[in-house]
Amino acid sequence: MASMQSSSIIFSLLFVSFFLTVAVVLGSSNGDESFRDGGVRKVLGLVDDFDSSSVSNAGGMSSGGDSSSSSSSVSFATSEGSGTGSDDVSWGSLSSAETESITSEQGPGRWSGSSHKTVEFVKYEGLGNDFIMVNNLDSSELKLSADDAIHLCDRHLGVGADGVIFVLRDKENFQMRIYNSDGSEPEMCGNGIRCVAKYLAELEKATAPKSYKVLTGAGYMILELRKDGQVCVDMGVPILNAPDVPTTLAATGEVVKAPLEVDGKTFSVTCVSMGNPHCITFGEQGSEGLDVDALPLEKIGPLFEYHPLFPARVNTEFVQVLTRSHLKMRVWERGAGATQACGTGACAVVVAAVKEGRSERNCVVELPGGPLEIEWRENDNHIYMTGPARKVFQGSAILEE
C-alpha cells in the first residue's frame, strides 16, 4: 500500500510539472503573458522579466521606462567606474505591483505603507572619505532634505557615505553644499571638494588640466585638476582669531598650546578654522607626544566635539610628529565621527604644527585613508592641498517621501 501511495504521488508531481511546462510554452508562443505572470511567478516566486526598453543612456543615470505603459516602475542601477570615460550600467525594472509584492513578502519595514521617490547619484571617495554626489545644477533648491541625507548615508539601510554633496550653479561658476551623515551642514569639506572637481569634469566630459571656481560656506575655492589625476585646491587663508574659529578658549587672538580639560586629562591644543572649526592636539601637556594608533578615538572624539568651549562644536585632529615634514593624524569629524580622512583637518594640522614649531610649511600628512600634500605658503599665506579623488559607482536610490 505504501508503495502504491508513493507511486501515485510521484505520478501526480510529474503530471503537474508537465502541465505547467506546456502551459508556459503555449502562453508564450501566443503572446499571452497572463498565465506565466499570474501563475508561474506565484508558484516559483520569481521576478524574471528584464525590460530592455526601460534602459536609458542619458548620462548613464536615467530611470526610464516604456512610455506606452501606464504602470509605474522602480528602476535601479549600479556601475563601477574610475571617473574617466563612460561606464557600462546594468539596469533592471520592476513594476509597482511587483515591488509591492516583494515588500509585502519581506514583512513590515521602513517602506511599508508609504510612497517612494528615487534619487540618482554618483559615489566618490577621497582617501576613503566617501560622498554621495547629487547633480543639482538645474535647481537652486536642494533636491534632498537633511533627513534624506541621513537615510542615504546609513551604511546598513542606505547607500552608505560620510556625507551627501550637492553641486549647484553659481552664475558662471559652481557651488557646493554638503550634508554630513548626521544631517548637519558644514561650511566646507576638503576631501569632498576634490571629489567635486572630478565630478564636474565627468559631467562636462572635460580633461586635465582643468580649473574650477567653486563657492562653499567658507568662500570661493579654486580647484585644479592635474594630468596625474591629483586635485590641488587653494584652501585660502587659515583663520586663527579665537572668536572666528569659534572657541572661547581665549577672548581674542590666537589659541596656541592652550590647556583644555577633557576626560580628566589636560591636553595642549591649538585652534584653527579653515572655514570650519578645528582643534588640534599633539598630546597631553608635559607628554612626549601621541601614539595615534593607540588612541581610543571613539571614546575621546565626542568629548572634544561637544566640549562647551566650542560653541559650534569642533573637528578634532590627534597628531603624531614623525619628522618635520611628515605628520600622522587621526580625526574625529564634527557630524560624521571617525573618518578615513579630512582635508580641512590636514590643512589645520600643518598650520598648528608650524605655529607650535613642530614642522616645516610643506608636509605630507598621513591619514588612515592615505597621504595628503599640504603647503602653507609664506608669499600669499594660502594653504594648498593636493590629493586624489575617485569615482566608485553610480546608481539610483529609493527614498521614503
59-110, pLDDT tens digit by residue?
Answer: 333 333 333 333 332 233 444 444 333 333 333 333 333 333 333 333 333 4
How does residue 116 score in pLDDT terms, banded at 50, 70 and 90? confident
Q: Closest Cα partner for 255 from 307, 191, 309?
A: 309
CA 384 to chain CA mean position, Å: 23
Cβ pair 137, 168 in contact under 8 A:
yes
Q: Closest Cα partner for 201 from 180, 177, 174, 219?
A: 174
Phi, psi of 111 (to 5 degrees): -95, -5
Helical packing angle, 190-204 and 343-355, nearest 10°: 140
Question: Facing residues of 391 across strands?
Answer: 124
Q: Check pLDDT > 60 for residue 145.
A: yes
How does residue 115 score in pLDDT terms, banded at 50, 70 and 90? confident
Query: Cell 605658503 identifies what position?
Result: 377
The DSSP line for 97-119 is: HHHHHHHHHH-S-TTTT--EEEE
Task: State residue 91's pLDDT score.
Answer: 31
Please compute, for residue 388, the number of CA atoms within 13 A of its CA located in the half-sphere on the CB side.
15
How does residue 4 score in pLDDT terms, banded at 50, 70 and 90? very low
Domain annotation for the chain: domains and CATH numbers: 130-237 (3.10.310.10), 242-381 (3.10.310.10)
Task: State residue 7's pLDDT score.
Answer: 52
Q: Check pLDDT > 70 for residue 144.
A: yes
Question: Facing residues of 371 across strands?
Answer: 366
- In this prediction, what percent of the chain has a pLDDT beyond 70? 72
Q: Report DSSP state, residue 39.
A: I
**The three cell numbers locating residue 32:** 499571452
Query: Average pLDDT, whole number, for the chain?
Result: 80
Q: Check pLDDT > 60 for residue 295.
A: yes
Please state, in angstroms and rounded to a whole number, the distance separating the CA atoms of residues 302 and 238: 24
Q: Check pLDDT > 80 for residue 33.
A: no
Task: State residue 401's pLDDT score.
Answer: 77
Residue-wise burial string across 46-81, b where 16 or more C-beta atoms lie within 10 A, e elsewhere: eeeeebeebbbeeebbbbbbeeeeeeebbbebebeb
Query: Cell 542606505 identifies what position?
Result: 158
Q: Check pLDDT > 80 for residue 280.
A: yes
Catalytic residues: 189, 342
**The three cell numbers locating residue 145:** 532634505
Q: Report DSSP state, residue 264.
A: T
Please state, in angstroms and rounded to a whole number, the distance separating the CA atoms of residues 352 and 363: 12
Query: Cell 516583494 identifies what position?
Result: 102
pLDDT single digits (tens) 319-358:
999 999 999 999 999 999 999 999 999 999 999 999 999 9
247 vs 76, residue with greater confidence: 247
Q: Check pLDDT > 80 for residue 210.
A: yes
How does residue 237 score in pLDDT terms, banded at 50, 70 and 90? very high
Give the residue-averaged pLDDT of 111-132. Answer: 87
Please state, in angstroms and rounded to a whole number, the distance separating the CA atoms of residues 159 and 161: 7
Q: Check pLDDT > 70 for residue 9.
A: no
Please state, in angstroms and rounded to a whole number, the distance separating the CA atoms of residues 318 and 327: 10
Give the residue-averaged pLDDT of 235-248. Answer: 98
Max mean pLDDT range (14-18, 28-32, 228-232) = 228-232
Task: State residue 26's pLDDT score.
Answer: 41
Q: Are strands 265-273 and 277-284 parallel, antiparallel or unpaired?
A: antiparallel
143 vs 100, residue with greater confidence: 143
215 vs 114, residue with greater confidence: 215
pTM of the model: 0.72
Q: Closest Cα partner for 320 from 286, 349, 282?
A: 282
Residue partners of 266: CB distance under 8 A and separation at least 6: 259, 260, 284, 285
